[in-house]
Structure 1
Amino acid sequence: MLLALLEKQGSHGYDLIKALDELSNGYYKPSPGVVYPALGHLETSGWVACSREGAKKRYELTTAGTEHLRTQHTRAQLLFKRLQHASKRMAWLRQAMDGQPRELGPEGEDLATGWLPELVDMRRALRMALMKHTDATPATQRRLIAILQQTVKSIAALDENPGGSTSPATKE
């Protein structure tokens, strides 16, 4: 994630901490004790170069860092998505814990997270349904795997057909 942030522009360690804090809406603010050793490792690996600006160090992505990030692009994007999801989940939980009513937008989405309450309910229902089968026989587990594989395939198809139907029957 640090390499991906540095790809946009060179930064001081503090600026990287601040960027992660902002990206997570305050959910994750890494400590200097995490970020600076990580930057030191990236420098030792040759992926970032460090220059001094007074008492501060400025980190820039090197050519090797750009190449490494290119090979890890999908992984970096997934990490950002996980951070974004955790941030939204924390906002959802904060609202629930504070007893705040949800402010809904024109399409019924929660304004704090962008999530439809029904989607959150379905995620919860899926987790509960799977928990009920914790001690399932291998045969039942295979059935669950088949169902989940089809579900994942349908969800992944949304990336290929945003806003459209993923049902083969509707593609006639």
Structure 2
Amino acid sequence: MMRIHNNLHARCNQQHTMHRGGRGHGLGHGFGRGFGGRHGDDTGGRGPRRRMFDSGELRLVLLKLIADEPRHGYDLIRRIEELTGGAYAPSPGVIYPTLTLLDDMGQIAAQQSEGSKKLFAITPEGQAELDINEERIEALIARLRAIGKERQRPDAASVRRAMGNLRQVLINRLGSREADTETLNAIVALIDEAAQKIERL
């Protein structure tokens, strides 16, 4: 919120320079970039996101899901997507090399199955790895489930919708060169007031 406040004041000063004959580029050129982007693997101008899995974590998650029941690669992708409520689905380019690694390590083994898909089952070596990392794996699965629950909360969806509306209104209103200093100050005051009220809830 402070960044929005500073951006608005910076644009206000820029527009004042334009009125005096300066060479400012106008609000429409620079303001939108601060609000751009979308959720997902793109950063959308909001900086890098934390990766869903750190080194070795995906391997443990796949091992746990295969221990629950033998699975194909696509089944694993779908199961992780289900756990996160659709917020994240690992790509085949991530899943299949990890399965190959687990197979090479002797922790899973391909079973005979119908069709061309490989059905993987856990081995005694894989079960031993699960036993050693039991607490870590439980925390990983809990984290995925928490993402899914958060994703499905209707109130969270409403907040995202409201934030999207505010973003679009700001882009439309401040993209106009007709926005004067008084209007910008009024917008800043409204945003600050809303932030203070939310903080007191």
Question: What TM-score bracket applies, with the shorter chain setting the length?
Answer: 0.5 to 0.7
Residue of structure 1 in register with 2:69 after alignment: 9
Letter paired with 1:66: Q
Residue of structure 1 in register with 2:82 after alignment: 22
**Superposed displacement of residue 52, structure 1:** 4.5
Residue of structure 2 in register with 1:109 after alignment: none
Q: State the Cα RMSD in Å.
A: 2.0
Residue of structure 2 in register with 1:33 after alignment: 93
In the TM superposition, what whole-angstrom CA distance separates every residue of 1:135-168 from its partner, at most 9, and x where no partner exists? xxxxxxxxxxxxxxxxxxxxxxxxxxxxxxxxxx
Residue of structure 2 in register with 1:75 after alignment: 136
Q: Distance in 2 between matches of 1:10 and 1:40?
A: 15
In the TM superposition, what whole-angstrom CA distance separates every residue of 1:42-69 from its partner, at most 9, and x where no partner exists? 1111100013433111100001101110
Q: 2:82 touches 2:148 (CA, 8 Å); kept in 1?
A: no
Q: Provide TM-score, normalisation by structure 1.
A: 0.54
**Partner of residue 124 from structure 2, selected from 56, 63, 66:** 63
Q: Which runs of 5+ in 2 are unaligned?
A: 1-60, 163-198
Q: Does 1:96 align with 2:159?
A: yes
SS at match of 2:118: strand
Residue of structure 1 in register with 2:191 after alignment: none
Q: Distance in 1 between matches of 2:65 and 2:95?
A: 12
Q: Which has the larger radius of gyration?
A: 2
Q: Distance in 2 between matches of 1:44 and 1:96?
A: 46
Q: Does 1:46 align with 2:106?
A: yes
Q: Distance in 2 between matches of 1:49 and 1:94?
A: 41
Residue of structure 2 in register with 1:84 after alignment: 145
Aligned length: 101
Q: Distance in 2 between matches of 1:35 and 1:20?
A: 11
Q: Distance in 1 between matches of 2:102 and 2:87?
A: 24
Q: Distance in 2 between matches of 1:25 and 1:64?
A: 31
Residue of structure 1 in register with 2:57 after alignment: none
Q: 2:80 touches 2:89 (CA, 8 Å); kept in 1?
A: yes
In the TM superposition, what whole-angstrom CA distance separates every residue of 1:92-151 from its partner, at most 9, and x where no partner exists? 54331124xxxxxxxxxxxxxxxxxxxxxxxxx8xxxxxxxxxxxxxxxxxxxxxxxxxx
**Superposed displacement of residue 81, structure 1:** 1.4
More strand per residue: 1
Q: Distance in 1 between matches of 2:116 and 2:107?
A: 22
**Superposed displacement of residue 84, structure 1:** 2.0
Q: Distance in 2 between matches of 1:26 and 1:82?
A: 14
Q: 2:81 touches 2:87 (CA, 8 Å); kept in 1?
A: yes
Identical-residue share of aligned pairs (%): 35
Q: Distance in 2 between matches of 1:11 and 1:89?
A: 27
Q: Which runs of 5+ in 1 are unaligned?
A: 100-124, 126-172
